[in-house]
Structure 1
């Protein structure tokens, strides 16, 4: 049964879970979605309800059950017995109405301790939710306890434990206090640190289409105090817990703005520095068994971005126009969380240390879908890249989505020599 307070008292109505698959007239399905959807379905006792709540389900053979993606949910549905050990031959069988049982929710990070900075909302919140859903104990930081408590409440409903801590990442004393608390309460254990704190969205959006000399000089601090300086502080104190243990993963949230000009100078320099922070820290951490990677999400449906797009009706702003056009196909806030869970549970994570990891690449590597069942948009495909280039949109529509920009072209593009 699922772990966590949200499912206490529930029982499954089905043949014993220990019954051999070869003797069971049950088909297997796996669904990547929050448990709450399935608790409702369990109460309804109808397989059709599962389809209604989450149509993007996948059929699995018995051999695939041990390889479920982290934090996915497996259920089994009684179906007409087939010659293949009771495994349905097509999805057309699923809408039949049968009682079903919740089998298991994987919690691959049970016992692990994580810190996610900037987790009151946005990407950090999504990462915290997924880490708790995977069974971890997660310390979340932000500047306001009320929003932190709201995140913690939802995170704990997914499983795991969530500890809200007020902390301004731009202040070294507060960062030091945070990691001293983790050290004290978790006996020195820290498995995952996600450097995600960022306070520059409003500054970026207020100064779009302005040259750096036309913007207030203070925009540098607005964007890079918490979002770069703070990442370094957290990396220092986080590494002091990880290195003695000989294990750990540090993730820094960055973006394609570290590769090419995007939005403004302060933003691009900050993101390029995040990528270099990951590369150089990885160089020194590798021999201690600690990994450090830079995560590039695509465009993300954050609460703040949605609010900005709704309030701004300037149809002549090309950046806002492009953001509005792409918002519905953007990643959910929890997609980055699925990426972090996959990385944290990868036994070969050291082979990726120091690298920039786009979310679309990780989706392919680990077989991930977004939490709403959508495939992750490949923003490194030629069709996606050219669709954002002036006068090249017509060509993008003719290119198949599987044609991707080679990494060597990206390397040459950023060459400064």
Structure 2
């Protein structure tokens, strides 16, 4: 019997991360699900309402969908906790096929229409849990993947890496994720491990549905074209199986576009790309300076 692929999805108590974990579950993956939420309602939506979702609930859903969900409570701001997480994966699974760097600090004022200096300084914590945490997790993942000769390191980025979206801290974090994937490809070249950054479209999540209610003029149109977060998991799996996977490594890919190229649909529909409205990813630069 063929061994199930093993994925780690960070920041998966709810939102896009939980959906991506569920998507891997649909394909029979063993999925390590990380997050900080143990008790439902600890996180709040944009309107102050309690948000559903815990690490254990996501893992249980992965199992119900045909995979094997393994919950691990982990604060990705804590390097020692992250190291223990990867030790657990190494000990229990003996391999890691996919890392999805999705964990990010979401500030209460993220979508408020205010200049950055009028928002709390804590908004910059997305550069810690979001950018730095992706580097740390990727460092650990590479130490498992490179010796086994295979693997995918994926960043969940967005069009905010190109256009103004939610302010400078959010945009810098997304642009940074794109550059991490770009530069990791250079170091990973020839190892069998690839790194990609994915520009997700608007996601159907608990927070986005609240945003559409609290800021309808800003979000209702986007939500009508939104992607189910499970879609991204199926796209990542297809990238890993693609005959041109090595060429895709280091690229920043618009999920809707690469899905169409690889023949992946979102529950039978083809989500639109927002390239014309929100901008294009930067092309890979072949230059290397040591």
TM-score range, shorter-chain basis?
A: 0.7 to 0.9
Q: 1:65-104 deviations in whole A, cap 9, x for unaligned?
A: xxxxxxxxxxxxxxxxxxxxxxxxxxxxxxxxxxxxxxxx
In the alignment, structure 1 residue 340 sits paired with structure 2 residue 236: yes
The answer for the alignment partner of 1:168 in structure 2 is 75
Within 2, Cα distance between the matches of 1:126 and 1:110?
23
8 A contact 1:119–1:125 mirrored in 2: yes
Q: TM-score, normalised by structure 2?
A: 0.86
Q: 1:15-38 deviations in whole A, cap 9, x for unaligned?
A: xxxxxxxxxxxxxxxxxxxxxxxx
The answer for the alignment partner of 1:132 in structure 2 is 25
Q: Post-superposition shift, 1:110?
A: 5.0
8 A contact 2:61–2:69 mirrored in 1: no
The answer for the alignment partner of 2:110 in structure 1 is 204
Q: 1:180-205 deviations in whole A, cap 9, x for unaligned?
A: 00011112x11110001122253312
Within 2, Cα distance between the matches of 1:167 and 1:191?
20
Within 2, Cα distance between the matches of 1:378 and 1:190?
30
Instruction: Kindly indicate whether structure 1 or structure 2 has the higher relative contact order, using CA contacts under 8 Å at least 6 residues apart.
Output: 2
The answer for the alignment partner of 2:191 in structure 1 is 288
Within 2, Cα distance between the matches of 1:110 and 1:344?
16
Within 1, Cα distance between the matches of 2:108 and 2:227?
20
The answer for the alignment partner of 2:273 in structure 1 is 378
Relative to structure 1, the CA distance from residue 347 to residue 138 in structure 2 (aligned partners, 3 Å threshold; closer, same or farther) is farther
Q: How does 1:12-411 map to 2 (within 5 A)?
A: 111-146=4-39, 147-187=54-94, 189-200=95-106, 202-205=108-111, 208-221=112-125, 223-310=126-213, 312=214, 321-371=217-267, 373-380=268-275, 382=276, 385=277
Q: Give the superposed CA RMSD.
A: 2.0
Within 1, Cα distance between the matches of 2:193 and 2:86?
17
Within 2, Cα distance between the matches of 1:168 and 1:347?
36
Q: Which runs of 5+ in 2 are unaligned?
A: 40-53, 284-290
Displaced runs of 4+ in structure 1, greater than 6 A? none
8 A contact 1:300–1:333 mirrored in 2: yes
Relative to structure 1, the CA distance from residue 150 to residue 306 in structure 2 (aligned partners, 3 Å threshold; closer, same or farther) is same
Q: 1:24-74 deviations in whole A, cap 9, x for unaligned?
A: xxxxxxxxxxxxxxxxxxxxxxxxxxxxxxxxxxxxxxxxxxxxxxxxxxx
Within 1, Cα distance between the matches of 2:238 and 2:107?
27
Within 1, Cα distance between the matches of 2:178 and 2:187?
15
Q: TM-score, normalised by structure 1?
A: 0.61
- Partner SS state of residue 137, structure 2: helix
Q: Which runs of 5+ in 1 are unaligned?
A: 1-108, 315-319, 389-404, 412-417
8 A contact 1:117–1:140 mirrored in 2: yes
8 A contact 1:140–1:164 mirrored in 2: yes
